[in-house]
Amino acid sequence: MDPCMTVANRDTDVTRYSRQDVLRILHLHARQITAWERAGLISPTEQYSFEELGQLRTLRDLQARTRFSARSIRASVDAMQRVAGMRNPLMEASAVRKGSRLAFRHGGALVDPLSQQLAFDFEVPSGLRVMRCQGSNLAQKAINVQELFLQAVRMEEDPATVPRAIEIYETILSVGPQHAPTLINLGTIHYNMRQYEKAEELYRRATKADPEYALAFFDLGNVLDELQQLSQATEAYQKAVSLVPQYADAHYNLALAYERQGQRRRALRHWLTYVRLDPVGPWANHAKDQARKILKTEKLSIVSRRGRLVKAAG
């Protein structure tokens, strides 16, 4: 397949995904979607189109890489719409962190829409490095890669078309071997097939391709756990929470890893952090129970910053 070919399906506009489908497919928490809705990055809805699914994935990955708030991303998106006349900058250009602000790779340049500064982009996106498309600029190439990527995501939904998804992901990697989202998704397919060594290889490549991508380290931790490499799994989870301190699931898995290594006091910190970040639901209840057990066994109390004793969240 020509990697520069536009491959979006004609029926994408009629394909709809429920809110629960989106949470499951993208491994999101409902509060993340709510935050994006409040910031105006997406419209409140209970049904999502294929294009909207792609935008949600882009938002998830962007926040994992940059650690910018939803409100900050919205300000940059609005400015880019004004500066470049784009309908949807998150899908039409590649967003990257530039200092304390968000910039967009567009037309061979790096655009800071808030300051309206333009610079030559000497760091070509890894996913586009070896593509050859006559008459196309970087923005068009990014759209084509995104279309291939979204088609592969859709193929993953049906077990019968997972082999096709693998083919598409491998096509993307053949022209951009360091395209981190593709490495992660392909790794997850192999993980679900219990091909853990192959999954580990792909996740490790993702962490090298984008060392600030928290999801890559989280997934690496999961597969290392399956391979009984608990010490290395712990290091991967530690890296994930250091990159994104609000990463609730990484705190949960890190707490589990510490407990399995007998480091209960270290586990306690991450159980409590998980409860603070995600206080409702069965996983939160389990985290609360584990925290209570450790507090009782270790004869510890929780002390607030003002020095007053407080009860564990109940």
Q: Where in the chain is the domain with CATH 1.25.40?
A: 247-310
Q: What's the pLDDT score for residue 15?
A: 63
Q: In the prediction, which pLDDT does 298 show?
A: 73
Q: Which residue has 């530039």 as its token pair?
A: 98
Cα separation, 142 vs 148, in Å, equals 10
141-145, 216-220, 246-250 — most confident range? 216-220
Q: Which one has a higher pLDDT value, 86 or 63?
A: 63
pLDDT at 271: 95
If one compares 271 and 142, the residue with the highest pLDDT of the two is 271
Q: How far is CA 192 from CA 149, 153, 189, 206, 256, in A?
A: 19, 15, 5, 17, 21
Q: Round the average pLDDT of the chain to a whole number and report it.
A: 79
Q: Is the pLDDT of residue 113 over 90?
A: no
Q: Fold for domain 247-310? A: 1.25.40
211/217 Cα distance (integer angstroms): 9
Q: Determine the average pLDDT of the residues in 77-98.
A: 75
Give the pLDDT mean for 126-148: 48
Q: Which of 264, 270, 256, 272 is nearest to 310 (CA)?
A: 272
Measure the CA–CA gap between 124 and 129, rounded to whole angstroms. 6
Q: Is the pLDDT of residue 9 over 60?
A: no
Question: Sign of torsion, CA 185 186 191 194?
Answer: positive
Strand partners, 112: 117
Whose tokens are 């490499």? That residue is 229
Give the pLDDT confidence of 152-203 residue by residue, as tens digits. 887 887 889 999 999 999 998 988 888 888 899 899 999 999 999 999 999 9
SS3 162: helix
